[in-house]
Amino acid sequence: MDFDAANAALEGKGPSDIIEWGLAQGKSIISTNFRPHEAVLLHMVTQAQPDIEVLWVDHGYNTPQTYRCAEEVIKQLTLNVKLYIPLRSRAHRDTIDGMPSIEDQAAHDRFTEEVKLEPFRRGLREMEPVTWFTALRREQTTNRAGMQAVAPHTDGILKVSPILDWTEADMNRYLEEHKLPSEDVYFDPTKVLENRECGLHVQK
């Protein structure tokens, strides 16, 4: 695929147009971690394809508030969730290895691989999508600021980010307009620092 041409054709288009383009490419999925504002893109995409598969990697370290919000979103949007979890339980890995320090990069990388990256890759292999919708936004990190709406991922998968140019204010307005739940008591142990990438969206 000519990614420059695809992005040029979608330049200035709204999320619904980008979603329509992505769905037209072949089997599509959307991923979520149920962090704040996640219901926005889930709502948009399921309006276009209600039965789309939703890849959720539950690393086991979510807050109680996040789990309750996830259940609310799943119920409200009737999400077709495909749940993937690490090969070891949280209790098992915490007992044997403990939580890694953010200063120990090697240990943190092993932790991230086990609780997030391996289950995610397993999900992609089993679900076999052509298009993967993400809720990435440019303002979230410096790495994401330079991303394009359509980008290559591994194994020829198209990573499509329909709300890349949306701001937090845009997200809040959409949540309010559509009466969608969101939860701010969220913690991702594979990132710790807000501007740190966990590895899913770092180009190799």
Catalytic (active-site) positions: 198
With contact defined as beta carbons under 8 Å apart, do 68 and 45 qualify?
Answer: no
Question: With helix as H, strand as E and coil as C, how does the chain read?
Answer: CCHHHHHHHHCCCCHHHHHHHHHHCCCEEEEECCCCCHHHHHHHHHHHCCCCEEEEECCCCCCHHHHHHHHHHHHHHCCEEEEECCCCCHHHHHHHCCCCCCCCHHHHHHHHHHHHHHHHHHHHHHHCCCEEECCCCHHHCHHHHCCCCEEECHHHCEEECCCCCCCHHHHHHHHHHHCCCCCCCCCCCCCCCCCCCCCCCCCC
Q: How many CB atoms lie within 10 A of CB 16?
A: 13
Tokens of residue 91, six digits: 């209790």
